[in-house]
Amino acid sequence: MDVESIANGTAGFAGAVHRMLADLVGRGAALGWVEPPSAEEVAELLDRVAGAVRAGDGALRVARLDGRVVGFGYWLRYARPTHRPHADLEKLAVDFAAQGHGVGRALTAALVEDARAAGIEVLTLDVRGDNANALALYRSLGFSEYGRLPGFVAVGERRYDKVFLMLDLRRAR
């Protein structure tokens, strides 16, 4: 498996990321969409993130297995001046077929290292409370819970907690 950093030219993998996200969301993955995103929405998202990477305000990683995109993730620096040393790991997605093979761990570890190299002091993220695998992964990498909104996420008639996690990179230096 290869985990590559992306700053330019998202067109080469935007279609693959779209197909993966559409499949994940269509099967109920907690990735921030209720319905699968359109190809245009994913392309715009990737272009926006790549622009932030070029400006030094983010990191974008793609994982490939045998040349096929099997995961991606990114973080963006907080825009407010008082929060510049902080960033939010906004998205991490791994193809269902590749889950359980270390793809999420490799992507997250690479994104954490990118954050550390960019001078990020605190990396935050949020996870739907029923996403036990993601919670276990992030906790195993040193993230700790700093808050929870009970029943905040509504999916049809079901309600889930929104769990906030952080990794303090100041302690890890």
Question: By three-state DSSP, how is residue 21 classified?
Answer: helix
Complete domains list, the chain, with CATH: 2-120 (3.40.630.30)
Phi, psi of 100 (to 5 degrees): 85, 5
Q: Is the pLDDT of residue 172 over 60?
A: no
- CA distances to 11, 32, 59, 80 from 43, rounded to whole Å, are 7, 16, 16, 25
Instruction: Tell how far CA 74 is from the center of its chain.
Output: 5
Residue 131 is encoded by which pair of tokens? 């996403």
pTM, rounded to two decimals: 0.92
pLDDT in tens, 115-152: 999 999 999 999 999 999 999 999 999 999 999 999 99
pLDDT in tens, 14-61: 999 999 999 999 998 889 898 999 999 999 999 999 999 999 999 999
Q: What is the pLDDT of residue 83?
A: 75
